[in-house]
């Protein structure tokens, strides 16, 4: 016996039910697809060991901001006291570079190419802490470890973007929390190492490579938290290992580069834009480990 066709109302209801199921299924899968397409964070060691910054002199500029509470993040220095610092004149802007043609690998360069820091003069507590430093970047890893004594803070370097060129959201989520407090190194010794520097940031990759020589290690820059701002745990596990030594550079004169800087860290994001002109390259910041504490990964 042939079945009688279903009433039209039943067919419409069934069609609507299928449509609802499909909508819910797409909604459930969307976050997973989004997460799959996002860049995965590199390990702390992979990120830190590939971060080299060329620091250019700029004209002085004092941002309109009050005292900032800084607290150490790296496990080796977490016993040092928190302290308030006041940003003085901007002295440098540091931009990412590669050394001797050794470009960071995929999955790492996606992040390090967007690390731009603006460095301001600060004063603070003299710590006189002795540390053993060893190079992490493969180009310099053959150099012997050195014993240094860090004294008082000289700069606070904070994250910025140049000319409104923001990184992808997952990259911004990481680089906006890179704040480095730079301490003077007592009795610095030179490494006198020739290095060819290549710009990595998309805004500067058109500039030619420059042959330089790294000489005296003047500062050790270590990660800090500002004003107790919350840092996502997965981001904290990377930025807390970011220790850089700033070496003086001997380099040829380069064309000046005018830029507009915008602060991206939550504590300073409301500051006005700054005009900065990059002049001569003054220093090269390279990654190190302190007291044998190698970043995980």
For the chain, the structural domain boundaries read: 40-290
Distance CA 83, CA 78 (A): 12
pLDDT value at residue 126? 96
Task: Say how far residue 93 (Cα) sits from the centre of its chain.
Answer: 13
Distance CA 222, CA 189 (A): 19
Q: Is the model's pLDDT at 2 over the cut of 70?
A: no
**Nearest-5° angle of CA 126, CA 47, CA 290?**
35
Banded pLDDT at 284 (limits 50, 70, 90)? very high
* Residue 259: strand pairing partners: 276
Name the pTM for this structure: 0.87
Q: Is the model's pLDDT at 79 over the cut of 70?
A: yes
What percent of the chain clears pLDDT 90, i.e. is strictly above it? Answer: 84
* Residue 71: strand pairing partners: 225
Distance CA 85, CA 181 (A): 10
Q: Is the model's pLDDT at 62 over the cut of 80?
A: yes
Here the tokens at position 101 are 């043609």
* Residue 274: strand pairing partners: 261
Task: Say how far residue 214 (Cα) sits from the centre of its chain.
Answer: 21
The residues, any chain, with a CB within 8 Å of residue 194's CB and separated by 6 or more, are: 211, 212, 213
Tokens 């496990």, residue located: 75
Q: Where are the alpha helices (DSSP H) in 39-105?
A: 44-49
């Amino acid at each position: 016996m042939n079945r009688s066709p279903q009433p039209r109302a039943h067919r419409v209801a069934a069609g609507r039910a299928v449509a609802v199921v499909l909508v819910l299924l797409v909604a459930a899968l969307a976050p997973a697809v989004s997460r799959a397409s996002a860049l995965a964070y590199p390990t702390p060691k992979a990120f830190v060991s590939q971060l080299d910054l060329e620091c250019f002199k700029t004209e002085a500029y004092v941002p309109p901001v009050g005292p900032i509470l800084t607290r150490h993040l790296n496990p080796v220095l977490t016993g040092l006291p928190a302290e308030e610092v006041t940003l003085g004149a901007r002295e440098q802007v540091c931009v990412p570079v590669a050394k001797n043609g050794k470009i960071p690998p995929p999955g790492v360069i996606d992040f390090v190419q967007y690390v731009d820091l603006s460095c301001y003069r600060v004063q603070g507590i003299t710590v006189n802490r002795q540390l053993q430093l060893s190079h992490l970047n493969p180009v310099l890893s053959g150099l012997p470890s050195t014993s240094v004594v860090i004294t008082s803070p000289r700069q606070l370097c904070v994250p910025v973007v140049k000319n409104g060129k923001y990184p992808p959201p997952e990259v911004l989520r990481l680089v906006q929390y890179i704040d480095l407090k730079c301490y003077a190194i007592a009795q610095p010794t030179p490494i006198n190492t020739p290095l060819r520097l290549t710009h990595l940031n998309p805004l500067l990759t058109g500039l030619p490579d420059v042959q330089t020589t790294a000489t005296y290690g003047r500062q050790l820059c270590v990660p800090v938290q500002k004003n107790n701002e919350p840092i996502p745990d997965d981001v904290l596990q990377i930025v807390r290992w970011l220790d850089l030594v700033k070496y003086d550079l001997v380099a040829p004169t380069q064309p000046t580069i005018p830029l507009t800087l915008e602060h991206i860290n939550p504590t300073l994001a409301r500051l006005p834009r700054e005009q900065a002109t990059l002049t001569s390259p003054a220093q090269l910041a390279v990654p190190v480990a302190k007291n044998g504490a190698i970043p995980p990964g």
